[in-house]
Amino acid sequence: MKLARILPFARSLIDLAIKKGDIAVDATVGNGHDTLYLAERVGKEGHVFGFDIQSQAIQNTMGRLQEHGVMEQVTLFQASHDQLIEKIPQRHHGQITAAIFNLGYLPGGDKQIVTKPHSTIRALEQLLQIMAPEGIIVLVIYHGHPEGAIERDALLKYVQTLDQKQAHVLRYEFINQINSPPFIVAIEKR
């Protein structure tokens, strides 16, 4: 298949925005795959701020980062991503070039604990305030469960209201696959 699958496409968008020395956000650290990816991209000169409400996610991510020797350039918060504007030091406001969300539930975790549209939208509003111009936010939306469908609908409604003078919004998805495959919404701050 020549078309990029969802997760590789998400990373290709992140790669457009991020370089060594940058500041990035993993808004849903989960098992740490994206946190590690971001940490490797920003290098020792940059920094990644990661958020998750579940202690299991924080522990899983710490283990992955330590295993790869990049823990020093990452700060993890066991907190909702809608607290990022207060948790990320103000000196980094205006410097964030990339952020990623993998919405839904923690793979291998409690499927009753899911991301919620109101906190995700608040996090997006905050990121759009404190990101650098041309910073990119990638949302990987998993909507194959009831709460995911609710979050999908709320997020799509929200991003369609963003003024095109302030942000470009892209939707990338496969439209002929079964079982509600995940899709991407990407937002580039202008």
Q: What is the dihedral of CA 173, 174, 180, 184, to 10 degrees?
A: -20
pLDDT-derived band at 156 (thresholds 50, 70, 90) equals very high
Those residues whose C-beta lies under 8 Å from the C-beta of residue 119, and which sit 6 or more positions away, are: 80, 81, 82
* Model pLDDT for residues 28-42, shown as the tens digit of each residue: 999 999 999 999 999
- The whole-model pTM stands at 0.97
Q: 15 pLDDT exceeds 90?
A: yes
**Span between the terminal Cα atoms of the chain, in Å:** 33
* Model pLDDT for residues 24-82, shown as the tens digit of each residue: 999 999 999 999 999 999 999 999 999 999 999 999 999 999 999 999 999 999 999 99
% of the chain surpassing 90 pLDDT: 95
Given a contact cutoff of 8 angstroms between Cβ atoms, the answer to whether 75 and 50 are in contact is: yes
Q: 18 pLDDT exceeds 90?
A: yes
* Model pLDDT for residues 104-155, shown as the tens digit of each residue: 988 888 888 999 999 999 999 999 999 999 999 999 999 999 999 999 999 9
